[in-house]
Structures are given as C-alpha cells and as structure tokens.
Amino acid sequence: MARAPRESRRDSERDSERLDTPGRSRQRRLPRMRISGDAFGNFAEAFARFMGTARFLAYMTGFVVLWVLLNFIGLFGLRWDPYPFILLNLFFSTQASYAAPLILLAQNRQEARDRVALDDDRRQAAQTRADMDYLAREIASLRMSVGELATRDYLRAELRTELRAILAELDDPPQQPTPSR
C-alpha cells in the first residue's frame, strides 16, 4: 500500500501566502467604529444643504476677507500666512476634500429617494391605468345593455297603441253570432 505524501510545513506556509486561499483572520489593533449609515447620511445631507445657502457664502466671504486683511495688513502684529496665502489655500483644499464626498453622499441618498418615489409613481400610474381600463370596459358594457333596452318613448308609443286597441274593442261591442236556422 502506498502512503499519501504528507504535507510539509513549507507547503502549508506557501498555501497560506497564496491570495486565492483563505488565511488566518487577523485581529484589529484599533476598535472598529460603529457609525450609523443613516445618521451619517443625515449629517451629509444637512452639510450639503448648508453649503448651498447664501448664509454659507456670506460666512466664507467674511472669513476670507478677514483672513486676507489680517495677513496682508498685519493688524495687531498678526501675520501667520503671508501674501500667497498658502495656509488659506490648504484650508480650502481640505474643506473641498471633505465637502465633495459629503455632497456626493447626499446626492446618492437623494437619488435613492427619487428612485423609490419613481417606483411608487409607476406603480400608482399602472394601478390608475388598470382602473381606467376597467371603468372603460364597464361603461362600454352598460352602453351596450342600454342600447338593447327599450326606451321610454318606444314603450310609451307601444302602450298607447295597445291602449287604443283595447279602447277600440270596448267601444265596439262584439257582434254576437246570430243563430242560424
């Protein structure tokens, strides 16, 4: 009997280094933050909503004017960011790097809400269409039924004719047959 070759330690190490085979799970060194996606999405929407207001533009304009005046004039001896205003540029770059993903997240959430509303509108339109088709069939059926019914004028005319015939019979006594001899 032939023995199956044993796996050497080197082979098992080589297998664990391969990317297509699962390896040992590593423990995280830092605790994982649990942030509610909905809460963060609400924050992103509020932030994007605020950035699109005139108040935000006024605040940013005031901030930039104050920054430039303090650094250009050097009021109170404060000049922490000389003329090319590199620190201000860094501030704006950082703000943009955070604002863009938050705005995109808010847009994605709005798109998801729009998609749900569109599906609801489609479902409502289909139901309305089905109801309208049903009512159209019912109206057509009623029209056909009414077309087959005798109208009031027709019934009146027929009743008048019958009444005249009955009255005529009553006015003219029937002739009794004479006995023949």
Predicted confidence pLDDT, tens digits, the chain (181 residues): 555 555 555 565 555 566 666 666 666 677 777 777 788 888 888 888 888 889 999 999 999 888 888 888 877 777 888 778 888 888 889 999 988 888 888 899 999 999 999 999 999 999 999 999 999 999 999 998 887 777 788 888 999 999 999 988 888 866 766 666 5
Asked if 94 contacts 102 with a C-beta cutoff of 8 angstroms, the reply is no
Contacts of 49 (CB under 8 A, 6+ apart): 106
Please choose, from the candidates 66, 88, 70, the residue with its C-alpha nearest in 3D space to the C-alpha of residue 79. Answer: 70
Helices (H), 18-149: 37-51, 54-73, 86-148
* Per-residue model confidence (pLDDT) at position 62: 94
Q: Phi, psi (5° rounding) for residue 81?
A: -140, 95
Alpha-carbon span 105 to 99, nearest angstrom: 10
Q: Which pLDDT score, from 0 to 100, does residue 26 have?
A: 65
pLDDT of residue 147: 78
Nearest to 46 by CA among 38, 34, 58: 38
| Cα–Cα distance measured from residue 10 to residue 24, given in angstroms and rounded to the nearest whole number | 16
Q: Give the total residue count for the chain.
A: 181
Q: What pLDDT, on a 0 to 100 scale, did the predictor assign at position 145?
A: 85
For residue 50, the one-letter residue type is F
